[in-house]
Amino acid sequence: MDAISVIRTKRDRGELSPEQIDWVIDAYTRGEVADEQMSALAMAILLNGMNRTEIARWTAAMIASGERMDFGALSRPTTDKHSTGGVGDKITLPLAPLVAACGAAVPQLSGRGLGHTGGTLDKLESIPGWRAHLSNAEMLDVLDTTGAVICAAGDGLAPADKKLYALRDVTGTVEAIPLIASSIMSKKIAEGTGALVLDVKVGSGAFMKTIEDARELASTMVALGTDSGVRTVALLTDMATPLGLTAGNALEVRESVEVLAGGGPQDVIDLTLALAREMLDAAGLKDADPEKALADGSAMDVWRRMISAQGGDPDAELPVAREQHVITAPSSGVLTRLDAYDVGVAAWRLGAGRARKEDPVQAGAGVELHAKPGDTVTEGQPLLTLHTDTSEKFEYALKALPGSYDIAPAGTPFTATPVVRERIA
């Protein structure tokens, strides 16, 4: 086989054969298929889609490109969560230690930022000393001693996905539903978790802009997981507005610690608890009370142990950007819209994300929100604060924000969209 014939098949809206899929994934992993060729194929998949048979085979080929983990020796049931990516989505940070505090083991393999969405590993790396890359033995040790681990997938786990994940980020193919589904589920199935809860974002700041696309993605992933013997459920959650009051790396870590300390924004708390209940239920721990574990400090205790076990200092000062720029409300009234995508693009342009897969990120860069939809604002009060180490980035970031919010006259009725919109099992 050759890459060009595979690309042409999908370019011409044909169905890739099992042999073509197996070959192209294996050849790309070995370096026989070049990045530009896989980029062309990814774009053809984005434009022309894949059927369920193709997606299942693509996922199986991704899994077969590497090893599979086994947590059978653990004394706790394993349960994991994956988000499809959003703006201000720091939920993994308080969620993993919270679920661990309730008796489950949480092997959380996370990724880096994709496009305008943040990456969990980028966020945690703003903590001095924290290590994302652990050997399998180190991962199991942290999991066994603390109950939770958040780390990068090892080089041996679905290596085809690791290459393709970074490529999609810089070639405009992140939004392809088949590639999202296979990327997520190949890692999660190979990871060996017993149960999985999917947080499928929907709205302007998500890769799935419509509820119909979100349902399609969620249903595809639930089927892939269930067929592989992993108890899988999905929540469709709102991403029209950024989650919480921050979008950026150190900014989101700081807000996550506030949640673990008993404070923080209500939408972050609500979604953290909703996902925790689903994870615990899937793990067979129906009687566990995550709200109590959040309130009594036991989740914070797990957080501190988990960060320390991966070389981080939970008491260290987090990085702060050198430069700030404040955007104020142009009029008084009710804030009725704050677009998550625009805020995410601004944070990315400030240095919180990357334009090329090898680019570094700024730990302190991002956007701080001073009001959320439904809040009353007065003319001249701060709406957003932009953070960066590089002042020349302000001009480019500001170009993403005109038209990103609406302020209606005082007294205008406002109904908030619930953070959890649907459940798919």
pLDDT in tens, 180-214: 899 989 989 998 999 999 999 999 999 899 999 99
Q: Specify the pLDDT at position 73.
A: 87
The active-site residue, picked from 39, 110, 126, 183, is: 183
> Would you list the domain boundaries of the chain?
3-49, 80-156+173-309, 323-408
Is pLDDT at 355 greater than 80 in this prediction?
no
Q: Going by CATH, does the domain composed of 80-156+173-309 fall within 3.40.1030.10?
A: yes
Do 80-156+173-309 and 323-408 come out as alike in CATH topology? Answer: no
Strand ranges of the sheet holding 195-202, from the earlier edge strand across to the other edge: 80-83, 195-202, 231-238, 420-424
Q: Specify the pLDDT at position 103.
A: 97
pLDDT tens-digit readout, 121-145 = 999 999 999 999 999 899 999 999 9
Q: Which CATH number fits domain 323-408: 3.90.180.10, 3.40.30.10, 3.40.1160.10, 3.90.1170.30?
A: 3.90.1170.30
Mean of pLDDT over the chain: 95
Beta bridge partners of 81: 197
Q: Which two tokens stand for residue 404?
A: 């990103």
- The answer to whether 353 and 248 have CB atoms below 8 angstroms apart is no
* The CATH number of the domain covering residues in 3-49: 1.20.970.10
Question: 3-state class of 22 per DSSP?
Answer: helix
Q: Specify the pLDDT at position 237.
A: 98
Q: Specify the pLDDT at position 116.
A: 85
The active-site residue, picked from 112, 168, 349, 387, is: 168
pLDDT tens-digit readout, 102-126 = 999 999 988 888 778 889 999 999 9
Helices (H), 170-321: 177-191, 211-227, 249-260, 266-282, 290-295, 298-309
The active-site residue, picked from 57, 81, 82, 188, is: 82
Note if 357 is an active site residue.
Answer: no
Note if 82 is an active site residue.
Answer: yes
Banded pLDDT at 157 (limits 50, 70, 90): confident
Question: 3-state class of 305 per DSSP?
Answer: helix
Q: Specify the pLDDT at position 291.
A: 97
Is pLDDT at 50 greater than 80 in this prediction?
yes
Note if 161 is an active site residue.
Answer: yes
Best CA proximity match to 190, nearest among 217, 230, 249, 246: 230
Angle of the 266-282 helix axis to the 249-260 helix axis, nearest 10: 70
For residue 87, give the DSSP letter.
Answer: S
The active-site residue, picked from 22, 80, 122, 161, is: 161
Banded pLDDT at 239 (limits 50, 70, 90): very high
Q: Which residue has the higher pLDDT, 357 or 37?
A: 37
pTM, full prediction: 0.89
Degrees to nearest 5, angle at CA 362 with 245 and 108:
70
For residue 114, give the DSSP letter.
Answer: B
Is pLDDT at 383 greater than 90 in this prediction?
yes
- The answer to whether 35 and 167 have CB atoms below 8 angstroms apart is yes
Question: How many helical (H) and strand (E) elements, i.e. helices and strands, does the chain have?
Answer: 16, 13
Note if 8 is an active site residue.
Answer: no
The percentage of residues in the chain with a pLDDT greater than 70, rounded to a whole number, is 100
Which of 14-28, 63-77, 81-95 is least confident? Answer: 63-77
Banded pLDDT at 357 (limits 50, 70, 90): low
The active-site residue, picked from 10, 90, 162, 187, is: 187
Degrees to nearest 5, angle at CA 337 with 321 and 94:
50
